[in-house]
Structure 1
């Protein structure tokens, strides 16, 4: 089945303390819909971290991977274990997925937006803005650019929605443009978690980090000038206070 399937697992652990051996089983449901045909059930048995036998609803039987597993697979495929594993796809997966799927669809996470300027990748325009949208759910989202309130359709490129490792999504949109005096450029995000579009205006002023650098540099320059002036005044006063002794 496709690797993009969602999945959840239920872990059953049985520990045999004699000689420290460990045996456990994992049930997995992989699905791309709530329909039974879109569900794959996998039951794996492990012995000391090594998978020795597996039931896969696609194969529809047990398969052994070790000598011990092969013997058990042959026996289970002829007994009630096979019937129980086949029924688990509907009894365990189908029922739980229906509940979890609807629960997930009712949840949403609001995106946050970062707007920044980068060097243009082409010679058509001297400037490029990047609108990065992070941590939103569900996946469906619309990102557009506005110039003085009007949607911009040209010189715009966007990535697909990219899944994060925590099930949230992110997307980036790029706008190449030629700055004009007095214009207002904005990135507008529309998403199911928002009651109204989220509009972020581009501020062409320097970022705070750059402003801090300039402020620190200016403060240092002013302090240097003050110290130089104080030294000059001190020197002048010392010079004026000297007594000239005429030579014979």
Structure 2
């Protein structure tokens, strides 16, 4: 995910030595344009969740016997469901836009790098790593595309990691089988970008790496041949030498 814009409103009733009930209203979005905004309303009794409304499904779901009865009653009221659904536009979207405008006073653009890594499994011989460094705020979304098609398998992403200096880093891994001419792209979304940015892996880099390995191996073999020839030449020449003890000259005054 791009990370969630999360806004919460809670209500609590009850006493510390008795039963307690509360509910949470949360707004989640993973896109810069807020087109996937989701409103979730969750009800708890003594820390047990018993009823949830999710705007994605447009209905209540019960998690206990009491919750199921309440969900059935609420879902039969079309006007009430419509009002709950409208919270997305009435509350969530305006609140998040306000936060984006005034709540984020410091923004740092991620520095993105593509590199080769060691595969985590034996399913594929290669692995690409898309790394984002020194970004703020924390929310970021990284996805992979192969020849224009989004990749959903063989992808492993890490959580955003704090650098300890207000900045974050994140890494996404794609295991793959190298193919000549293949275009692999890492798409990065961050609030510091006006739109998502694409970082393309050049498949010719793989050929370059193979050439470097081949050249290195050939150089090593040539070095061994030259070294062996030199050693044989030295041994052959040394067999005809006679070691003469050094002469000492005594000078007297």
Would you say same fold, with TM above 0.5? no
Larger Rg: 1 or 2? 1
TM range (shorter): 0.3 to 0.5
| TM-score normalised by the chain length of structure 1 | 0.44
| TM-score normalised by the chain length of structure 2 | 0.43
